Structure 1
Amino acid sequence: MNAQDRVPALVVDGLSVSHGAQALVRDVSFAIPAGGVLTLLGESGSGKSLLAQAIMGNLPAGLRCAGTIAIGGERTGAADQRSRHAGWGRRVALLPQEPWLALDPTMKVRRQVAETYELVSHPARGHEEDDWRSAKVNARTLADRALASLGLGDAADKYPFMISGGMAQRVAFLATHAAGAPLMIVDEPTKGLDADRRGEVAGLLRAARARGISLLCITHDIWLARAIGGELGVMLDGEMIERGDTADVLAAPKHDYTRRLVAADPANWSARPAAAGAPQRRIVATIDGVGKSFGSQRLFDGIGAHIEVGEIVAVTGPSGSGKTTFGNIVLGLLKPDAGRVTRATGLAPAAFQKIYQDPAAAFAPRASLRRSLMDLVRLHRLDWNVLDGLLARMRLAPALLDRLPGQVSGGELQRIALARVLLMKPALIFADEPTSRLDPVMQQEVVSLLADHARENACAVLLVTHDAEIVQAVADRRIDLQS
């Protein structure tokens, strides 16, 4: 059978998703051939992740969908979500956007990956006990090999809370990939990863495609879109506004938004002016000989620095080097094994704030976003009008606040988390991958807002980002944990 005659891996026809009377995704249609790739780019909240959830049959409660979906030739109504559940892991697999939510917090890393291999390859019911034991041993071997291939060998015996966000992303990828489903939907597979790890994930996706696996890839990473090739679709306000060969669309975009998206790639940013030095500049925190280890693994040692008001200091180092751990020590959330962190005198307990790498971890899951923010405003006697201004600057509709955290996109939740922290006007912000879920246009706007806030409000920022171009453009200096 010729490739042209093969049944498409995925056909989406007239797919729409709505919340009440509000249309979130409108009449989207596309097809992915067997072994093909479609990458979706677009701003946070444009409907990319909702498309993936609708295809899987896993939309959040309260959302409705219409249209038809065919996976490997099996056609179902989009509204009949339950009919697609039987194909999870066998016909289609989803790597979700939040690695922390994808992993079992009570299960060690090796077991989480091995379990997938075991479920896929275990003998049928009724076989001998020795066959089951052999399958289990083989699954463990495959899991160890897969973990080692992504530099996660040392993480095999750890729980998810003991590893970095970037490492959790790679573990979740391996657990999803192990099932070998012919169609994979990957949602932001490179967020929070350093350049070398991004290359490894791109290599895994290319290798999966070479084995005939079809990919629907949702990303804000223009570099990744180029690296895996295939077709590219650009979404805006719930509609697919442009689609074509990836290289062609990125080289000569036709839609104005696509042109803005490409122009806002961090590689094209201009460097911001450095914070002006002055004799009266104040020190917010002094870091003196700080070191930290977990068991026999030493993350960093002898780190010293002065953090001054108004400056942006990048914390750099490869994934797993302890960047988040270092920031938590500066905040006082963790104790160092050696050294000390001294705050400036007179600062309130809430003067040091954190923007979490995974914003879902920063909100009560069963309270509306409005309720969480109103509690904060009331507790600290803040001005809600200031919050309204921050949300408007980040192009967040007020109606989003009436939803639960799980009912908005990762990028929308990340911006709401940032607005909440800026509202507090802290003396120091530890921004842990604060734009990892944002498209290039919004990422540029949010980083500009964060930098302006630091300058205008005498606030220091400790910035963790995997993107070297962002560090080059906005940081006044850096603390390298691997130097």
Structure 2
Amino acid sequence: MSLVEVTDLSISFGEVRAVDGLSFSLEAGGALGVVGESGSGKSASAYALLGLHRGTGAKVGGSVRVAGVDVTAADDAELRALRGAKAAMVFQDPLSSLDPYYAVGDQIAEVYRVHHRASRRAARARAVEVLDRVGIPDAVRRSRSRPHEFSGGMRQRALIAMALACEPQLLIADEPTTALDVTVQAQILDLLHDLRRETGMGLLLVTHDVGVAAESVDEVLVMQSGRAVERGPVGEVLVAPREPYTRALLAAVPRVTEPRISSGAKPADGGDGRDGGDGRDGGDGGEVLVEAVDVRQVFGRGRTALAAVDGVSLSVRRGETLGVVGESGSGKTTLGRMLVGLLEPTSGRLTRDARVQMVFQDPVSSLNPRRSIGESVADPLRASGERDETAIRARVRDLLTRVGLAPESYDRYPHEFSGGQRQRVGIARALAAEPELIVCDEAVSALDVTTQAQVTALLAELQQELGLALVFIAHDLAVVRQVSDRVAVMRRGRIVEEGAVDQVYGNPRDPYTKQLLAAVPALDPALAVVRRAARKELAAA
């Protein structure tokens, strides 16, 4: 009997059919990647394996068996016994999955005690054991820490530890690396690979990132609109896909080995610099719109003072795209906020001779849910003194059209749009102020690859049409390669390498840049194996 057997699964939310006639199986010890765009039904299918739709109003049909349990027919007690003990799930957002009031170790111990008759001391010991197993340093001490005291990568490790506490036969990981930078993502994927090899557990990995699947699984199931369109060994599906949709999905994946998409802007030589190099005079690439010279941003005072940006010098020229990459905490977002004037530097000089706007990472939190998207786009127009409501409405409709949205969308609300559409609204709002420079802060990090490609293509088109300069801040090095003329690599508040994008990616000089590039997922499963081994050697050195 297979570890997972799904037959003709259907899931409906009211009139919306999220999953339609899905069938697949997973053998004990195997690893299956379920990939597809947002809305393809992949997460809904994963939740069905643990009966998580029960009580939500969703209508579930078909048959689901996990570790010998008929999930659709199981009563509540049987489901509780299944969850955690036989099958466990790691969710996308660890911060919302962990209780902020309790120590991480206590939360893991409680899961263990639910399924085992164990003393508090034994459960605590088990919590420390699994935290140590997933690579949390000084596990005894850190087990007493609360979730907010962990980094994003450590929180994800803690969730994996919680899932491992009862030694499940199946681990379901739903977008476990979406919010993580490339080096932490590589660590989590390597961890999942090692755990599967050591424990013999099965892995069901849900992801919109095809590269993540290539790094982690044996087989791939590609979903579109609630249906399976292709399934097979990861090497066959990703190297020689049969279905047009799979080919389109793969074609949309940005690659660090390919040159940027054309925006019509002239690439500029940013010098050979470390910590800003000699690119701050603007070179001969065009008029300098923003220039930073030795800028610092310090938060806190005394012993608690933290230099988020520590002596950065750079410039941005008209019509170019400057990519800024680095891990979480490298200072890139703080730098972006200084460039647009949301933060004033603690020291140094920042000259801004341009109208600037920002497109934020999360369009949900940056749009007022109680106001129509048209009104949100209109805000900069009213702030500039425009009072003619007819002219405002006409201008907003034109902006919506320009970013690929229907002008009739003016009176609709943010919840009525997909993630990619909401990001287009954010871009339209930024354009309303007629900026010369737009700073995009992780503007596509939460989007699936096809939507990501659409938004980056839109930005390139607008740049060519309007002569915009862009600062593209991201932890995804492949996306930055696709959109940038120059790139600055940040680490611990400093720029460690800067130059033309082909120069930095093709011949990186700084060891940290080399480390970042080595952590980017490879679409070729055979290459992924080689790179995983290389990372192990580097870690052991």
* TM bracket, shorter-chain basis: 0.7 to 0.9
Contact in 1 for aligned 2:34/2:42 (Cα 8 Å): yes
The 1-side partners of 2:475 and 2:80 are apart by: 35
Contact in 2 for aligned 1:391/1:416 (Cα 8 Å): no
Q: Alpha-carbon deviations, 1:122-173, whole Å to 9, x = none? A: 599998xxx534643663575366453699x99995763x776566555544
Letter in 2 for 1:206: H
Aligned equivalent of 2:311, options 302, 322, 325: 302
Listed as ranges, the gaps of 5+ residues in structure 2 are 269-283, 381-391, 497-541
The 1-side partners of 2:475 and 2:138 are apart by: 17
The 2-side partners of 1:187 and 1:142 are apart by: 20
* CA positional deviation for 1:105: 4.7
The 2-side partners of 1:36 and 1:279 are apart by: 53
1:130-141 alignment, distance < 5 Å: 132-133=120-121, 135-136=123-124, 139-140=127-128
The 2-side partners of 1:466 and 1:343 are apart by: 25
Where does residue 109 of structure 2 map in the other structure? 118
Contact in 1 for aligned 2:400/2:425 (Cα 8 Å): yes
Q: Alpha-carbon deviations, 1:9-40, whole Å to 9, x = none? A: 22222222233333222111111112221101
* CA positional deviation for 1:64: 3.3
Where does residue 207 of structure 1 map in the other structure? 194
Where does residue 538 of structure 2 map in the other structure? none
Is 1:91 aligned to 2:94, yes or no?
Answer: no
The 1-side partners of 2:402 and 2:57 are apart by: 28
State the SS of the aligned residue for 1:387: helix
Contact in 1 for aligned 2:403/2:424 (Cα 8 Å): no
Where does residue 389 of structure 2 map in the other structure? none
Where does residue 390 of structure 1 map in the other structure? 403
Contact in 1 for aligned 2:364/2:422 (Cα 8 Å): no
1:369-408 alignment, distance < 5 Å: 371-377=371-377, 379-380=379-380, 381=392, 383-384=396-397, 386-387=399-400, 390=403, 392=405, 404=415
State the SS of the aligned residue for 1:266: coil
Where does residue 29 of structure 1 map in the other structure? 23
1:74-473 alignment, distance < 5 Å: 74-77=69-72, 84=79, 87-106=82-101, 111-112=103-104, 114-122=105-113, 132-133=120-121, 135-136=123-124, 139-140=127-128, 142-143=130-131, 146-148=134-136, 160=148, 169-170=156-157, 172-178=159-165, 180-210=167-197, 211-267=199-255, 269-273=258-262, 275-276=265-266, 281=287, 283-284=289-290, 286=292, 288-292=294-298, 295=304, 299-333=308-342, 337-339=346-348, 341-344=350-353, 347=355, 351-356=356-361, 358=362, 360-362=364-366, 367=369, 371-377=371-377, 379-380=379-380, 381=392, 383-384=396-397, 386-387=399-400, 390=403, 392=405, 404=415, 412-425=418-431, 427=435, 428-473=437-482
State the SS of the aligned residue for 1:283: strand
The 1-side partners of 2:81 and 2:454 are apart by: 42
Larger Cα Rg: Structure 1 or Structure 2?
Answer: 2
Residues 254 and 283 of structure 1: CA distance in aligned 2, closer, same or farther (over 3 Å): same
Is 1:73 aligned to 2:61, yes or no?
Answer: no
Residues 266 and 378 of structure 1: CA distance in aligned 2, closer, same or farther (over 3 Å): closer
Contact in 1 for aligned 2:430/2:438 (Cα 8 Å): no
The 2-side partners of 1:217 and 1:311 are apart by: 38
Residues 227 and 24 of structure 1: CA distance in aligned 2, closer, same or farther (over 3 Å): same
Residues 316 and 183 of structure 1: CA distance in aligned 2, closer, same or farther (over 3 Å): same
Letter in 2 for 1:353: M
Contact in 1 for aligned 2:358/2:438 (Cα 8 Å): yes
The 2-side partners of 1:331 and 1:164 are apart by: 27
Contact in 2 for aligned 1:55/1:69 (Cα 8 Å): yes
Percent identity over the alignment is 31
Residues 52 and 124 of structure 1: CA distance in aligned 2, closer, same or farther (over 3 Å): closer
Residues 320 and 49 of structure 1: CA distance in aligned 2, closer, same or farther (over 3 Å): same
The 1-side partners of 2:129 and 2:344 are apart by: 36
The 1-side partners of 2:77 and 2:120 are apart by: 31
Number of matched residues? Answer: 449
Contact in 2 for aligned 1:15/1:27 (Cα 8 Å): yes
* CA positional deviation for 1:474: 1.7
Where does residue 3 of structure 1 map in the other structure? none
Contact in 2 for aligned 1:10/1:69 (Cα 8 Å): yes
State the SS of the aligned residue for 2:205: strand
Contact in 2 for aligned 1:43/1:439 (Cα 8 Å): yes
Contact in 1 for aligned 2:322/2:470 (Cα 8 Å): yes
Letter in 2 for 1:448: A
Where does residue 510 of structure 2 map in the other structure? none
* CA positional deviation for 1:187: 1.9
Letter in 1 for 2:490: L
Root-mean-square deviation (Å): 4.0
Contact in 1 for aligned 2:373/2:425 (Cα 8 Å): no
Listed as ranges, the gaps of 5+ residues in structure 1 are 1-6
1:45-60 alignment, distance < 5 Å: 45-59=39-53
Contact in 1 for aligned 2:445/2:476 (Cα 8 Å): no
TM-score (norm. length: structure 2): 0.70
